[in-house]
Every structure is written in structure tokens, then in C-alpha cells.
Structure 1
Amino acid sequence: MNLSYYIENLLRRWNVWRFNRCARGVLSTPHLVLGKDGPLLLSMVHHRDVLPYLLALKSFAHRLQPSRVVVVADPTIDANDEALFRQQVPGIELRRAHEFEQLGVPTGGTWERLMAIAHYVKEGYVIQLDADTLTLANIDHVVDCCKRNISFTLGTYDLQAKVGVAEVSRWAKSHCDTHAIPHVQLRCEAALLIAAAAGDADKTYIRGCSGFAGFGRESFTTDDVVALSRRMQQHIGEAWSKWGTEQFASNFIVGNIPGSQVLPHPVYTTPNRINHTTVMVHFIGPLRYYKGIYLREARRFLGRALAEHA
């Protein structure tokens, strides 16, 4: 290992420490009050992400008040975490991940989250909110989707549209051919005609991100997920259980809900694409501490929240 590796590792540890120290400030903000008519917010949360999750949740709820909040608890969530959730979000609904395991569907890798969404979407509009997001300003696109029962997902900076499965499959196959071990999401996308069932070329796909997605009431079912999972498992075998397949499934499901939309970039984006129009940021893994934006925006939100409460 060279010197640059150690320097990068130390810098990351420093950034994590600074952010976590700042994030504790969320515990001093007012507890979240649930509304009557808003969406259900659902997240799968790991022990290490409890404070970032509360930041994500409260910054979102400041712009769109939820009627219900559901946490699908990763096995690492302990009694202290649960007590903190209940203190900060009175009325929160805590469910264990194993409650949403389903025969024919992989376990782990956030699959229980998608199955939980399929369960709750029978009752109303569900928004999946990752713990590593922050809402910076009014989210008009999302509010409109909720009001009109329109499903949505995050897009990528270079594509904010639904694309036919045949076209995506050709694109993914060409990229698989250039990699000795292609990423599992590429392999799944190359098999989109299998996912579509019987080669239904009228199906579409959104190459988006499952970190922030909205699902209209009764927009899909657990049976839809199970059927998709079984088709894909038969085609790609054990690879279907790898991390990344749930995102593919979410993209496919949202892409084929009638009227569904892709949120526009850079209004909803990652930290490396922010501009003056940005209202929500997904601080995805390798970009989490990019240029200190996560820390800066967390401080800004906490400052506003505490000032309003004073």
C-alpha cells in the first residue's frame, strides 16, 4: 500500500468524524410531527446511519410532511436506536427486515425494503428515502407526484427518461462485452427482455437510482416482484442475490408503472452535479464527502431548524 492510500484513508476518517459530530445536532431539533394527508416515508436503516437518517427524514419532512414513517430495521439496529427513533419521531412504525422476506426473492441487499414498499403501497403513496439524502429546498416535483398519485425515481445526469427494454439491453450487452467481470446491474440490464417476460418489447426501463423513489397507491404488488425475481434468477443464477439487483428491480418496476416520471437532474442530484436549481442531494457512497458539501448542507439545515425552534 502506498502513501496516497493512507492519506486518503485518514482524510475519509476525518470527514466521517466531522460529519457525525455535526449530525448529532439533529437530536436537538424538534421531534417530527406527522400529518394527515401526506405520503408514507419508508427507509431501511443500519445502526451506523441512524443520525444521517434523522437528518434525511427531518429535512424532507420540512418540505413535505408525511402521514406515516416506517423504518425497516437492519439487524444491526439495537434497543437504543429504537428508543431514539421513538423519541425523535413519535408514531414511527418499526419493522424488522426479516418480516419482509419472501420465498422466491433474495434476502439482504435492501430487498426487504422493496418488499416492504410492495406491502405498504396497497394502503397509500409510499416514498423510499435513503439515509444519505438531504432536502435543501422546496421539492415541487415530488409534491406534485404525490398529489396526482404518480410514481417517480431519481434519474442519472445523462439520462432522465424511460427507454425501451430492447434498446437498454443492447447497450448493456455492449458494455458487458468490454468487462471481464461486468457489474451485476449491467448483467441484469442485458437480460431486460427476460425481465419483461416473453420478450415484451413494449416494456420500458429507467436507469435510475432506488435511493429516492415514489410509488403510487396500488402501483405494483408483491406478486410483481416475485415474478420478476424468479425470471431473473432462472436466467443469471446466483448472481441475482448480489448487491445491486434490488436497484435494477426498482428501476424496472417504476419504469413500467403507467405515467411514472424521472426526477430531473440537477434539481435532484448527486453532490458533484449541484447547481443553483438543486433541491435535493443524494450523497451516494464514493461522493459522500465530496468537497465537504454534505457537512455544509447538514449544518445549514440544522441552523435553520434550531433557529425556527428558538
Structure 2
Amino acid sequence: MLTALRRRAAMARFNWICRDVLKTPPLQIKPARLRIVSMVSGADHLMYLLAIKSFYRHLLGGEIVIMDDGTLTERHRALFRRHLGSPRFVRMDSIATAACPKGGCWERLLYILDLSRDSYVIQLDSDMLATGPIPEVLEAIRENRAFTLNTGSDQVISSLEDVASAARLPPSGPPHIQVLAERSLPHLPAGMGRRYVRGSAGFAGFACNDTNRQAVEAFSTAMQGLTGPRWAEWGTEQVASNYLVANSPGGVALPWPRYSCFFGDNPDEALASAAMLHFLGTWRWHEGTYLRLAKQVIAEMTRSTYVQPAVYMPRETARRVSA
């Protein structure tokens, strides 16, 4: 109860101090073969507005898609329309998951893969913050290569055997589903992709490819056979996202620490040189780092001092790749 009260108090303080994001200029939405998808909660509407506006300022175009988790009101939608042009709204509960689990962000991933049949798609969590130029992301979009946010300096795309060996079981009690899944990866059926990366689904890019959904459905079916009913637990969608990126031709883990999760121990020099940071869970309130950087980004956007990058638009003849 005390933890929940502290979390609500921290969020209220964040919303109060960061309300100046509402004073930043509306985005100028331009067409491109790119979609930016986020699952948004009403409680996080200002946080999301900061995430998408801080990120979109580095782009030259793309459609914004908002997945409503069921808590957005018409007031939230009107606010987003005022700041984000004409975003597309999609109800999360309208997405069929077929052979994959329900909940746990699976609807978001599957919807993104449906969109990736005819455009590049980026998944952006509401607690992401773009603090600097993102040339590696622009290059991935231009070259139609998948990417994922990194979770540490030693996380690289590896063989399934190496990943399973590195996944450590806890000394007692059942392992987290991600650990159990990663230890099961070498037992995937022959012919399936043999690579994986321990990335974060909080920020990931998916190449334009009309076989993405079939690939992840096949992966989910195989993993359910290996892990049983636990495959329905929260965390399996991230495993699937990591697997899909790693096995997408040219897929990359973005360089750490320029693109990283904030765990409270990030060196000051790493924060100063960061391009994208993921302030997940309770770490977003650690020592005021998120709030300090958020205020800095809001000030930059209010002054409109950031110069957009050179043209990066995805090629009209984006190569179609196989999963």
C-alpha cells in the first residue's frame, strides 16, 4: 500500500512539473512509409506525449498510431489530436491474437506485425525519452533493418545455445518466464531461426516484411510446447520481439549506452551522451533523473531549437526481406 501511494505521488509530481509539455508546439505530421505505435494508458497521457514528441522531432515523417488500453477518454483523444495531428486510434481489445497468448502486450506486437506488411514500424513505450540525435535508428529505417533497444553492454545477437547458457536459473524457486524461455530456445524445431538477443521491447523497430506475423505465430506455438502454460505469463511478448529482431536479416541491437534502459547506475557521462533512454518501472523516479531530463527536453522543444536531420525517408523500393 505504501509503495503504491509513493508511486502515485511520484506520478502526480511528474505530471505537475512536466505539464509544460502542453506548451510545446504541435507536431507537423508528414507522410512516410513509417508508423510509430504505442500502447497508451490514460494515467500516462502526459508521459506518452513527452515520449512521442521528443522522438518525432528527430524524424521527417511517419504516422502516429495510439493503441488504447481501454482507459483513454475523449478528453485524452482530443488532447492527442491537438498535439499530434490526426493520430490513428486502435482499441487494444479489438486485436485478435490467434495462436498467441492474450494480454501481456501480445495484441500490440501482433498489430505492429500486421502493419509491417507495408511499412516500417517502430514500437515506442510511453516511458521512453529521446534526448539526442538518433542516426542509428534513421539508418535502420532507411535500410529496412529491424532493431531493438539494448539492455546492457554485453547484450549482442547470439546463437540460441549461447543465450541458453547465459540464462541463469535462480538458486531457489521457479525461474522468471523470460529465463525459462531463453533456456528452452535451443530446443526450437529445426529450420527455425537460430539467433536471439536480450533486448527490450520498450523501443524496437520492425522491417517492412509480409511474413513477420507468421514467423512470430510459429515461434509462439513452438515455445508454448516447450514451456507449457507459463507461456501465457507477462514477459513472453518481449521474448518474441527479441527473437524476431535477432532473426530479421540485418537486425541489430542498438549501441549501448546511447540507447539503454535506466537502472539507476548509469554513469553521468553515459547519460550525457544518451540518445534514447527507457525509464521503466520504479527506476523512472530514481534520484530525479527522468524528471531532470524531461524538463530539459521540454525546454528544447518549447524553444524549437532542434534542427531536424537530413532526409532519411525509407526508400520507395524498400527491399522485402524474409523473417
Task: Flag whether TM exceeds 0.5 (same fold).
Answer: yes
- Aligned 1:189-268 pairs, distance under 5 A: 189-194=182-187, 196-198=188-190, 203-218=194-209, 220-268=211-259
The DSSP-based 3-state class of the residue aligned with 1:72 is strand
- Runs of 4+ in structure 1 deviating by more than 3 angstroms, as ranges, are 8-14
Distance 2:111 2:279 in 1: 23
1:223-255: per-residue Cα shift (whole Å, max 9, x none)?
Answer: 112111111122222211111010000001101
Query: Once superposed, what is the RMSD of the aligned Cα atoms?
Result: 2.0
Query: What's 2:291 paired with?
Result: 295
- Aligned 1:81-120 pairs, distance under 5 A: 81-120=76-115
Distance 1:65 1:178 in 2: 49
- Aligned 1:73-152 pairs, distance under 5 A: 73-152=68-147
Contact 2:151 2:261 in 1 (8 A): no
Contact 2:106 2:237 in 1 (8 A): yes
Give the alignment partner of residue 271 of structure 2, picking from 275, 278, 286. Answer: 275
The 3 A distance-change label for structure 1 pair 62 and 43 is same
The DSSP-based 3-state class of the residue aligned with 2:97 is coil
- Aligned 1:35-54 pairs, distance under 5 A: 35-37=30-32, 39-54=34-49
Q: State the identity %.
A: 36
Distance 2:201 2:139 in 1: 19
Distance 1:24 1:38 in 2: 31
1:267-296: per-residue Cα shift (whole Å, max 9, x none)?
Answer: 112333243321111101131112211111
Contact 1:193 1:199 in 2 (8 A): no
1:104 positional shift:
1.2
Distance 1:25 1:57 in 2: 15
The letter of the residue matching 1:131 is S
1:214 positional shift:
0.7
- Aligned 1:9-20 pairs, distance under 5 A: 12-20=7-15
The DSSP-based 3-state class of the residue aligned with 1:54 is helix
Gaps of 5+ in 1: none
Gaps of 5+ in 2: 306-323
Query: Which stretch shifts more, 26-35 or 111-120?
Result: 26-35
Contact 1:59 1:301 in 2 (8 A): yes
Contact 2:33 2:119 in 1 (8 A): no
1:176 matched to 2:176: no
Distance 1:11 1:108 in 2: 27
Distance 1:76 1:10 in 2: 20
Distance 2:73 2:108 in 1: 18
Contact 2:146 2:206 in 1 (8 A): yes
Contact 1:153 1:254 in 2 (8 A): yes
Query: What's 2:52 paired with?
Result: 57
Distance 1:233 1:57 in 2: 34
Contact 2:149 2:203 in 1 (8 A): yes
1:98 positional shift:
2.1
Contact 1:38 1:64 in 2 (8 A): no
1:38 positional shift:
6.0
Contact 2:38 2:125 in 1 (8 A): yes
Distance 1:150 1:129 in 2: 17
The 3 A distance-change label for structure 1 pair 14 and 74 is closer
The letter of the residue matching 1:176 is L
Contact 1:159 1:207 in 2 (8 A): no
Query: Which stretch shifts more, 242-251 or 261-270?
Result: 261-270
Contact 1:153 1:210 in 2 (8 A): yes
Contact 1:160 1:263 in 2 (8 A): no
The 3 A distance-change label for structure 1 pair 219 and 153 is farther
1:91 positional shift:
1.8
Distance 1:93 1:81 in 2: 13
TM-score, normalised to structure 2's length?
Answer: 0.87
The letter of the residue matching 2:180 is R
